[in-house]
């Protein structure tokens, strides 16, 4: 069976704060967990031979959030 894989994947990271809040954790724990998942994802891309990945990590809307 031949599987055609993309040469490029793009992902939008979203919901780390919500994930942490839903578990009663501080926001940085959500970012830590998100970073671990991102690392898993990137390793998966390497294993599959996907040569390019774009990661959208910040919206200008996030810059206006109050500090927690």
By annotation, the residues acting in catalysis are 14, 62
35: Cα within 13 Å, side-chain hemisphere: 6
Helix (H, G, I), strand (E, B) or coil at 10: strand
- Kind plus residue range of the DSSP H or E element containing 41: helix 27-48
Alpha helices in 2-26 (DSSP H): 16-22
């Amino acid at each position: 069976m031949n599987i055609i894989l993309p040469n490029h994947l793009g992902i939008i990271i979203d919901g780390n704060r919500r994930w942490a809040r839903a578990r009663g954790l501080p926001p940085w724990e959500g970012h830590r967990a998100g970073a671990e998942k991102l690392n898993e994802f990137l390793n998966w891309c390497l294993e599959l031979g996907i040569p390019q990945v774009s990661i959208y990590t910040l919206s200008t809307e996030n810059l206006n959030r109050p500090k927690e």
